[in-house]
Every structure is written in C-alpha cells, then in structure tokens.
Structure 1
Amino acid sequence: METLQNFTNMMNNKLDQPIRGHLKNVYASIASATFAAAAGSFIHCNGYFEGGLLSALGSIILMCMLAFSRNPDGKDDGTRFMYLNGFAFCTGLSTGPLIDLVWDIEPSIVVSALMYTCVIFTCFSLSAIIAPEGKYLMLGAPLMSTLSAMLLASLLNIFIRSHTIAYMQLILGLLVMSAFILYDTHLIMEKFRMGDKDYIWHALTLFMDLASIFKHILILLADKEQGSRKKDNRR
C-alpha cells in the first residue's frame, strides 16, 4: 500500500491537473475501444458475422471520418466517440480470422497474447508518463525509418519467401510498436501542452499501437507452438 501511495504521489507531482484529466479521457476511450474490438472478434469467432474485406474497409472509412472531424478543443458530442468504437469494432472483426486460426492451434495462446499485450502496454505507458518531458520524442525519426526498412523487406520477402526473415520482422515489429507507445504517449502529452485536446484522436493513436502489439504477439506465440509440435512429431 505504501509503495502504491508513493507511486500515486509521484504521478501527481509529475503531471498537472489538466494533463491528468486529458490522459484519463484518453485511457478511458482506449478501454472502451478495446471492449468494442473484443466484441467484434467474438462476433466473428462465433459465426454471427464474418470479418474480412468489408470490416477492413469499414475501419478505413471510420478512421477517415475521425481524421476529417478532428476537434482540437477536445469537445465531443458523442459522435466521434462512436466513430472510435466503430473503428475498434471493425478492427476486432478484421482480427477475428487470425484469432480463429490461432484458437484452432491452441486456445490458451489467445489468452496469453491478451495478458502479454496488457502488461507491455501498461508498463510502456507508465514509463512514458513518468519519464522526463519530451524524452522519447527523439524516437520518431528512427522508428519511421525502421518501419520503412521493414516495409521494403516485406516486399522483397514476397519473392524470397524466407521464414527467417518473416520471423525476424515479427520480432522487430513487436519492438517497434512497443517503442511507439513511448513515442506516441509523449507526443500526445506535448500536443496537449500546445493546445490539442482531441482525446478521441489521441486514443485512436494508442489503440492502433495496442492492436498491432496484440497481433504480433499472437502470431509469434502461434509460430512457437507450431514449431514445438513439429519437433515433438520428429522425435
């Protein structure tokens, strides 16, 4: 209890009241979006509606609607909050086929991926919040460069078809998206200080990081499980 109280006091000293309120809105919106995504995945996995091209298109449309209706003063009539949850729902539907595939391999992988994702997101978010102001903003250029290099490698691997390259890209992708939590959290805080109070858009940014981390972990754990089974079959 004393450790928790010390940590709370440190957070209160680190952040002033306005930015604490903003981050509270951001993370509450992320929580809501996460439940919406879970609902979308549940609907696909139980056969109520098949996720695929249509749901992916829905995600793009809703993200564009959020982008074109940006509101820097932070006021929202609920419409953009619905757009955010609609985007998350469509993202969950689109992720449904992957979850379905991994569930057939080993159901516990999905639960483990959720737990690992929550731990990574929480730890990196707290690290960003308590770090010195603007410390991780310098990560922007290296992360973008790394993403560009990974995109080129993905295009080349279409012809090479190397499992090793694909696996290394998954690991590197997980590291990059984890680092993006640090960068995006600091960027959100810096934008708020400059007058951008659009917590819905800020929540969308971090939710996309969260969803990407979950997918990377899901694929890595599934690949590991399949590799273990192949070794067992050879013995």
Structure 2
Amino acid sequence: MDSFFQSRAFGARSWSYESLKNFAPIDAVVQNHLKSVYLTLCLAVVSSAAGAYLHILSNIGGTLTTLGCMLCVAWLVATPAYEERKRFGLLLASSLLQGATLGPIIQLAIDFDPRILVTALVGTAVVFVCFSAAALVAKRRQFLFLGGLLSSGLSLLLWLHFASSIFGGSTAMFNTEIYLGLLVFLGYVLFDTQLIIERARSGSFDRVGDALHMYTNLVAVFIRVLIIMLKNGAEKEKKKKKRSQAS
C-alpha cells in the first residue's frame, strides 16, 4: 500500500519560470483554500483512525483492504475535479481502508507498549505541522526546487525495496529504507505545501487532490516513525533481558 501511495504522478502540474520568480505573500483566496485542504486532511485522518479501530475490533485489515484502498485512490484520480462530493467520499473511503491496513502494526504497537503509539502520533503531528508551517512562512517557491532531489530519493527507495524483495534484505538496507524514506517524505511535506499554494494562485483549487497528497505524506511519515520507535523499543527490551540474565 505504501509503495502505491508513493507515486507522485497523480496530480502533477507544471508552472512557468516567471511564477518561480514571484515571492509575493499568500493572499486571502489561497489562505482559504489551504484551510479547506487541511480541514479535508483532518477528516481523512479521522477516517483512518476509524479504520484502525475497526481492525482492532474485527481484524479486517489485510490484503483486501489494501486492494480496496488502491481501487478507491485510482477511482478518485480518474474522477473529474468538478465531481467534488464523489471525490471527497472516495478520499474518506480510501483513508478508512488505509487505516484498516495499518491496523496490524498499530495493534502490534499497542500490545508492545501503548506509549509508543501515542509518542509516534504526537511526534508525527508535531513534525508535520512544523514542516508545513516552515513551507508557509518561507519565501514563495523556495522549496519547489527540491522536486528533482526528492524524486531521485523516491526512485532510490523503490529500487531498494525492489532489490530487497528479490535478493532478501539486510538490516542495513532496512534501516536505509526507513530513514531515507522518512527524510524524503518530510521533504515532500515542504514541497507539496508550496506546490499547493502555486496551484491555488494559478486558479487550481483541487481541495480533495491536494488533501490526498498531504495525507500520503502524513501516513508515510507516521509509518516510518512508528517502525523506528518499535525497533528501538525492541532493542531496549533485548538489552534489559541480557542484563537481567547476566546479573
């Protein structure tokens, strides 16, 4: 599921060289659009939380929810922008299924130590807000030049994932995928935030599509933060066991 959401082809738009030189402040129209995007993003996150809760209750997360999420996203992308209600419903459906898909790792974190899940959620929210705010207060289009670098990093991640699935992954490769992926998607938070602003200034107010991009980044960051914290927690438990056995 994560590899599907990593595609940046959906919603790709172009901008002119003249627009890159424009460093005017964000106007009221763009601000209103950003409010709508972040409100839609919050609703998608709530839908994901509901999906994760459904998995904990009924154990529904798995291959079917993954495929269903992919289908909903593909349907959303293929739906014209003027059918906003339909696209919004598809976004909520895909985020619900994505939450159910994430249910097993969330259940694992709860069983291992509920504090890890809470810390991962809070940490992800804080980092996401900070990076989004940095993109909003920075000079216009300052981070749009990250696009090529981030695309290269994303391609490297896909090749690493492909290689590990064929030849078997080592611990070093796994750590590279996790930490590099975290950096890449944090960079995409900066990039996509400023790209949303430029699209809005050019007259493109795709609230649902923009929220989907930000939701993709948020989920990708959360998964990696949670995995890192679970990995560190497991290592600490092993060290405690060794110390207790030695004593």
TM-score by length of 2: 0.85
C-alpha contact (below 8 Å) 2:84/2:208 kept by paired residues: no
Structure-2 residue corresponding to 1:59:
69
Q: Residues 1-235 of structure 1 correspond to what in structure 2 (within 5 A)?
A: 14-47=25-58, 49-71=59-81, 78-158=85-165, 159-235=167-243
SS of residue matched to 2:143: helix
Q: Which residue of 2 aligns with 1:5?
A: none
| Structure 1 unmatched runs, 5+ | 1-12
Aligned pairs, number: 219
Cα distance in 1 for partners of 2:184, 2:123 equals 16
Distance 1:193 1:15 in 2: 9
Q: Match of 1:62, as an amino acid?
A: C
Measured at CA, do residues 182 and 45 of structure 1 come closer, stay the same or move farther in structure 2, by a change above 3 Å? same
- d(CA) in 1 for partners of 2:52, 2:200: 33
Task: Tell me how far apart the structure 1 counterparts of residues 168 and 44 of structure 2 sit (CA, whole Å).
Answer: 37
8 Å contact kept, 1:70–1:198 = no
Which range moves more in the overlay, 186-195 or 207-216?
186-195
Q: Distance in 1 between matches of 2:29 and 2:137?
A: 16
> Is 79-88 or 18-27 further displaced after alignment?
79-88
**Identical counterparts, % of pairs:** 33
Deviation at 1:79, TM superposition (A): 2.1
Distance of 2:189 and 2:151 partners within structure 1? 13
* Structure 2 CA distance for partners of 1:211 and 1:17, relative to 1, 3 Å: same
1:155 Cα offset (Å): 2.6
Shift of 1:233: 1.2
Mark the runs of 5 or more structure 2 residues left unpaired by the alignment.
1-23
Are 2:25 and 2:140, in contact at CA under 8 Å, matched by a contact in 1? no
Q: Distance in 2 between matches of 1:22 and 1:170?
A: 32
Deviations along 1:43-64, one digit per CA (max 9) or x if unpaired, are: 10122x5111111111111111
- Does structure 2 conserve the Cα–Cα contact (< 8 Å) formed by 1:181 and 1:209? yes
Q: What RMSD in Å do the two structures reach over aligned CA positions?
A: 1.5
Cα contact 1:170–1:216 (8 A) shared by 2 = yes
8 A Cα contact 1:41 1:99, kept in partner: yes
2: CA distance between counterparts of 1:161 and 1:84? Answer: 33
